[in-house]
Amino acid sequence: MTYSLKIGGTAVKAPQSLECIIQDIDAKASRDANGLLHRDRVAIKRKLTIKWGPLTVPECSAILKAVSGQFFSCTYLDAQEGGMVTKTFYVGDRTTPVYTFNPTTTDYVWQNVSMDFIEQ
C-alpha cells in the first residue's frame, strides 16, 4: 500500500511529521454523588498537526492554496483505522517560516511550514 498525504484529492509533498490527535466531542459531562463520570459523547473527531521540511515556493504555494477553502478533503494514514482515510477538514493557523532569502538558492525557501487540520 502506498502512503501519501492528499489534499482535495491531490498528493502534496510528504510532510516531515504528521501527528493525529483523536478527540472525543462531548455535549455534556457531569459527575454523580459517587463521583462517577457520566458523559454524552456526540462524536469522535481528528485533528492533524502537520509540519513540512524544506519546501520550494511552488510546493508551499500549492499546499496553502489547497487548504484555502472553508472546508477541504484530506486523505491520510489513520492509526486507529489502520489505513488510508479521507475526511473533511478546515485549517487552523498556518505558520510559514522563511528558510533563506539568498537569491542564489532558488530551490528551497520555506522550512517548517506547519498547520492543524481540524475535522468538520
Going residue by residue through the chain, which has 120 residues, state the pLDDT in tens, using 9 for 90 and above: 678 999 999 999 999 999 999 999 999 989 999 999 999 999 999 999 999 999 988 999 999 999 999 999 999 999 999 999 999 999 999 999 988 777 776 677 889 999 999 999
Q: Which of 79, 94, 86, 95 is nearest to 120 (CA)?
A: 86
How confident is the model at residue 43, as a pLDDT? 96
What is the predicted pLDDT for the residue at 88?
99
Q: Among residues 21, 18, 20, which one has the least CA distance to residue 53?
A: 18
pTM: 0.87
- Cell numbers at residue 101, please? 532569502
Q: Residue 5: its pLDDT value, please?
A: 96
